[in-house]
Structure 1
Amino acid sequence: MKFFLKLVFILLSLQTYSQTVNELEYELRVLRSGEKEGDKIKLARQLQDKEPFNEIAIDYIFEYYSDRDIDSVNIFFDKLTQTFPKNAEPYLLKSRFIHYLNVEYSQKKEFLNKALEIEPNNIEATYNLAEEYYRSFIYPTEVDRDVNLYNDTSLGTEFSAAIKEQDKEIKKRKEEEKAFQKEYAEKALGYFEKLWIITPNSRGIIYFPIKQLECFLKIDSADKYNLPENKNSFFPAGHFINKNQNWECDFTINYLFASESSDSSSEYITEQLQGLGESSLFQKQISDKTQIYRYTALPSFNYPICLTLEKNTKTAKLSWNIGKGAGGYSPQGIKESGHKNLTSNEWNNFRDLFEKIKYSTLPNKKYFLMTDGTTWVLEYKTSSVYEAKETNIAEKAYRESFLYLIKLAKIKLEREDAY
């Protein structure tokens, strides 16, 4: 009997160890009924044995240490750097998991520089150092343009007073940091210039902070840095950034964050449009007398809808694609498509509704933090103009024009309040 139990234990152990990396990662992500956090520490260690730098395994191990007040994170990293002395990854991991280390946040730069000593053209280390110095540069002058809801006295006078005190402290720190702004700007620009050379794919993002830093430092690089054309994209590079006329010399906006956010929006919307069988209007060649309007509605938990209205001198054609699944998740294909020609009266009614939107005055991107809602994208295309506006708060006129096209297409909405 003992032999049998021992054999079963060995077989189970072999089966567990023989699991693939993907299977082990999945097991660590899923918490089943009756299981407690930390119960799978052996699986985490096995996964790390298979892939020494696996972040899912390392994060699980560190959470295990943290929950049990086990001070072993530094020992873990010491062992990792000793085992892989010529690899930059242990220092990159240190910078990513610095919140587990009992060190000052400022040491993150030290870890990233260690990674660059080992691998001088490491993209992650270079980008993160550029970001760290850029954030320090912009901190004294950056302005939060969103309304501070926490100052609402309806939340309680004590809470409101605490927030105001916090704001005072932030303003004080900002003033103190202004003395170092030039130094931070120079270092940030140096790392961005290096990135421009070693990773051309990032140019659509780092172009904006580079131009801003050059203006601050009074550097004229002429045509050394040009915004990529994005020839194979659905959107121009940085299109969803809200820029003022003299944006390069506006030091109140974090253009690195804004361009990263724009890039993220472009990727997400592009994926959804491709899933709906749509092509790029930005790249589309059309005649001088043609204009196109495309509405895309991507509700978090309802099916995505795309409506395109193309008008030329002879016809006004409405076409639509409705997706399966939900707009907040990966595309699941198309469940319904259709098209119809509009009458002159229908076209005029649409134009009247569209004029009320005041499209040209809309920001390229308007976003409010929420967990559920709809991402709206409205594109306008002529032979010489392409514009796209993104928002998750559609104004009344916007929704009315969209719902009018829905009515013309005779699309039945399961939940009209989702659009």
Structure 2
Amino acid sequence: MNKTLRQILSIGILTLFLTQIGFSQSIEKFVDSTIEVDSLNVPTDLKQPYFPKEMFPEVEMDWIKTDKGTKIETKVKEGNYDEFVVNWYSKHLHAMKEPLLFNRKVNKEIYRFTWLRTFDKPMTFRFEKKNDRFILYWKVLNGAGGYEPGEIEIERLKILTEKEWTEFTQLIGKANFWEMDLGRSSIGTDGSEWIMEGVNQTEYRVVSVWSPNKGNFHNACDYLISLTNLKLTDKKKY
């Protein structure tokens, strides 16, 4: 086997490996023109999931007793998709009348942070960049993240600057968002789900982290909250 052929095979194997473990999530594989949407790309069918189900592998949770108490260990069940979680998250996004982000190619870059706190109002923050225009949209429901979503209570938008976009994307970069584990990486009770989606002209990704209280991913999400006029105490930021 000559050197050139070996290099081609090596690249092909590496590409296949990265695709299988989730580092390559081309928007091409999710585009679906059969999904019925309105003019704003909001699904008209309330049963339509807001995420490709294969992006949410099922997570198995074990409670393990140790000398220091009980700890939770999680394990991804390959090939099993967590439809309960996808439907739960989707129900709140339907109530927010948010657009789908995965079903069509876009000519802009979008990040959406959906925040589902068990006992508090569900919120979503969608930051969009198109050419030299930067807009943050946010919505608040009057229900609760762990129960029924309720109806839209607050719906606002704000024109932001390139500096604010850059600060946010730097935080996303520090969190290694595009390389994070897909789907719901951890599980807990009576906390919150921090769900981040990203889409651009070539890629789509969604991850969910349970109740982060520090770290780069937390900081990226918290930065979006800080760009709004919402007044939240530290106690409510769980």
- Shorter-chain TM-score above 0.5: yes
Query: Deviations 1:16-51 (Å, cap 9, x if unpaired)?
Result: xxxxxxxxxxxxxxxxxxxxxxxxxxxxxxxxxxxx
Q: Which position in structure 1 is the counterpart of 2:55? A: 239
| TM-score normalized with structure 2 length | 0.67
1:353 is matched with which residue: 144, 147, 171?
171
1:277 and 1:358 map into 2 onto residues whose CA distance is 29
Would you tell me which structure has more helix in proportion to its own residues?
1
Residues paired across the two proteins, number:
179
Does the CA contact (< 8 Å) of 1:366 and 1:393 recur in 2? no
Aligned-partner SS, 1:387: strand
Would you tell me which structure has more strand in proportion to its own residues?
2
1:341 is matched with which residue: 152, 159, 164?
159
1:369 and 1:348 map into 2 onto residues whose CA distance is 31
2:86 and 2:78 map into 1 onto residues whose CA distance is 16
| TM-score normalized with structure 1 length | 0.40
1:391 CA drift (Å): 2.1
1:231 and 1:397 map into 2 onto residues whose CA distance is 37
1:407 aligns with 2:226: yes
Does the CA contact (< 8 Å) of 1:294 and 1:309 recur in 2? yes
1:291 CA drift (Å): 0.4
Q: Which position in structure 2 is the counterpart of 1:191? A: none
Q: Kindly provide the amino acid, as one letter, of the partner of residue 172 in structure 2.
A: F
1:285 CA drift (Å): 3.9
Following superposition of structure 1 onto structure 2, how do residues 1-400 of structure 1 map, counting pairs within 5 Å? 231-232=34-35, 233-241=49-57, 254-255=77-78, 258-259=80-81, 261=82, 263-287=83-107, 290-394=108-212, 396-400=215-219
Change (3 A) 1:416 1:402: farther
Query: Deviations 1:269-299 (Å, cap 9, x if unpaired)?
Result: 1111111121211124421xx1000000100
Structure 1: any 5+ residue segments left out of the alignment? 1-226, 243-251
Does the CA contact (< 8 Å) of 2:57 and 2:184 recur in 1? no
1:336 and 1:254 map into 2 onto residues whose CA distance is 38
1:362 CA drift (Å): 0.9
User: Percent identity among equivalent residues?
Assistant: 26
Cα RMSD of the aligned pairs, angstroms, is 2.6
1:354 CA drift (Å): 1.5
Aligned-partner SS, 1:238: helix
1:292 and 1:383 map into 2 onto residues whose CA distance is 10
Change (3 A) 1:240 1:253: closer
Larger radius of gyration, structure 1 or 2? 1
Change (3 A) 1:330 1:253: closer
Query: Deviations 1:199-257 (Å, cap 9, x if unpaired)?
Result: xxxxxxxxxxxxxxxxxxxxxxxxxxxx9x69534222321128xxxxxxxxx97445x
Q: Kindly provide the amino acid, as one letter, of the partner of residue 385 in structure 1.
A: E
Does the CA contact (< 8 Å) of 1:301 and 1:326 recur in 2? yes
Change (3 A) 1:319 1:369: closer
Change (3 A) 1:237 1:307: same
Q: Which position in structure 1 is the counterpart of 2:70? A: none
1:319 CA drift (Å): 0.6
Query: Deviations 1:174-212 (Å, cap 9, x if unpaired)?
Result: xxxxxxxxxxxxxxxxxxxxxxxxxxxxxxxxxxxxxxx
Q: Kindly provide the amino acid, as one letter, of the partner of residue 152 in structure 2.
A: I
Aligned-partner SS, 1:346: helix
Q: Relative contact order (alpha carbons < 8 A, sep ≥ 6): 1 or 2 greater?
A: 2
Q: Kindly provide the amino acid, as one letter, of the partner of residue 220 in structure 2.
A: S
